Structure 1
Amino acid sequence: MNELTIAMPKGRIFEEAYTLFVQAGFDLPKEINDSRKLIVEAPNERIQFILAKPMDVPVYVEHGVADIGIAGKDVLLEQQRDVHELLDLRISNCYIATAGLPNTKMNDIAPRVATKYPTIATTFYKEKGEQVEIIELNGSIELAPMIGLADRIVDIVSSGRTLKENGLVQYEKIVDISSRLIVNPVSYRVKQERIKEFVAQLKNELNKR
């Protein structure tokens, strides 16, 4: 029987988390990296992995189908799910920032901000005392200022290369982002000892870095 079910995001976060787990001493199957399966077993650790889209991980953890999950801080801030954040894994580091065309000011009458993070963007501008119209987009956020849809965008920035290649500049840094280990509140009570052991093993590896 699996003691823990862990929701893992596909893509870059998964690759970095997998490396962290292995370096921390967890015996994980090598084929998990190349598998097309959505549920993968690690029998030697009595762990079951659910491989999901990054935005879905907190949903699985909140509803208890996964005990533990790995999610970017951006997703946690945006969704505000009922989960406990246990550990900063210090992987997939980036940040959220505002950006737009060079040397441009926000429209005084009807400022518009395009983003796939409406909660984060709304909170940021509200705290600044600025009222803006949020335009929610799901992809190619950089297009918005280029085609006159918005004055600013709020988006993830890693190297800044995408902004530069599209003729945009960063204006304000909002928050640093990294991947976090989250847990279902009920699972944390019921499986507290096992989860604490799991977290301690990861902490030990992170302390070496």
Structure 2
Amino acid sequence: MNNNSLILALPKGRILKACIPLLEKANIIPEPAFFDADSRLLRFKTNDPELDIIRVRSFDVATFVAFGTASLGVCGSDVLMEFDYPDIYAPLDLNIGHCRLSVAQLANTKDKNLGDPARWSQIRVATKYPNLTRRFFAKKGVQADIVNLHGAMELAPVLKLSHLIIDLVDTGSTLKANGLQEVETIVDVSSRLIINRTALKTQSVRINALTERFRQILSPQSAA
């Protein structure tokens, strides 16, 4: 690996699949191991000798970029709002990874207070977004007791671990399958190109050139 390479952090999972066509259009071609589902590698070379890719958990992309370990990354706006890192600059909405961050509860709940946000006073909420959740309920004058979970969120109300959940929703089919319904949408979410502010100053030419590649493929003329 070239120690002077820029590092682009990409999230694992469904957003990674959406990133691949963008990489191709931007003429960023990872080495074959990047596409091997059985590969245990986490850092990959590309056709650009001055650009490497790392593949990390979606929540960790922002941390790698904020601390300058990666110069650039692709990160959901939900993660940016949760951590609110001052060292991250997010110049481009990549128009991928669209979903929404929502409040959900049991569909057959008998507690009518849960269905009316204006009547919440104190509530237990399961989520992997503790900071965002606290801010959301604080604006409503509600004291939220946060239960931190990182998976199987839909089980929390079913098993009475929490009254509500706050989680990402795409089609809503997982909520429905587990007997939950959306109560309120907090914010619409999409994935952004993010940049470490210090790296942008010290490696501005290379980073601006990469950013411009993505900007060009996102332009209306490119889509036509």
Query: Is the shorter-chain TM-score for this pair beyond 0.5, marking a shared fold?
Result: yes
The answer (yes or no) to whether the contact 2:123–2:142 under 8 Å persists in 1 is no
1:46 partner amino acid: E
1:32 deviates by: 1.6
Q: CA deviation at 1:96?
A: 0.3
Q: In the TM superposition, what is the alpha-carbon distance from 1:58 to its structure 2 partner?
A: 1.4
Aligned pairs for 1:1-209 within 5 A: 1=2, 2-34=4-36, 35-44=39-48, 46-81=50-85, 82-102=87-107, 104-106=112-114, 110-207=122-219, 208-209=222-223
Q: CA offset at residue 14 of structure 1?
A: 1.4
8 Å Cα contact 1:27-1:45 kept in structure 2 = no
Contact map agreement 2:126 2:146 (CA 8 A) in 1:
yes
Q: Which runs of 5+ in 2 are unaligned?
A: none
Is residue 30–residue 53 contact of structure 2 (8 Å, CA) maintained in 1?
no
Letter in 2 for 1:173: T
Q: What TM-score comes out, normalization by structure 1 length?
A: 0.92
Q: Tell me which moved more, 193-202 or 28-37.
A: 28-37
Q: Deviations over 1:101-134 (max 9, x none)?
A: 1254238664211111111111111112222222
Provide the secondary structure at the position in 2 that maps to 1:100.
strand
Q: What CA RMSD, in Å, does the superposition of the two structures yield over aligned residues?
A: 1.8
Supply the AA of the counterpart residue of 2:66: E
How many angstroms apart in 2 are the aligned matches of 1:109 and 1:127?
12
- Offset from partner CA, 1:7-41 (integer Å, 9 cap, x none): 11122111211221102333433442214311101
Contact 1:105–1:151 (8 Å) recurs in 2: no
Amino acid at match of 1:97: S
Q: Which moved more, 1:112-121 or 1:160-169?
A: 112-121
1:184 Cα deviation from its structure 2 partner = 1.0
2-side partners of 1:154 and 1:108: how far apart? 15
In the comparison of the two structures, how many residue pairs are matched?
A: 209
Instruction: Tell me the secondary structure at the aligned position of residue 132 of structure 1.
Output: strand
Secondary structure at 2:113's aligned position in 1?
coil
User: 2:80, 2:11 → 1: CA distance?
Assistant: 13
Is the deviation greater in 103-112 or in 58-67? 103-112
Q: Tell me which amino acid in the other structure corresponds to 2:60.
A: D
Q: What amino acid maps onto 2:7 in structure 1?
A: T
- The 1-side partners of 2:23 and 2:120 are apart by 50
| Partner Cα distance (1:86, 1:157) in 2 | 25
Preserved CA contact (<8 Å) 1:58 1:69? yes
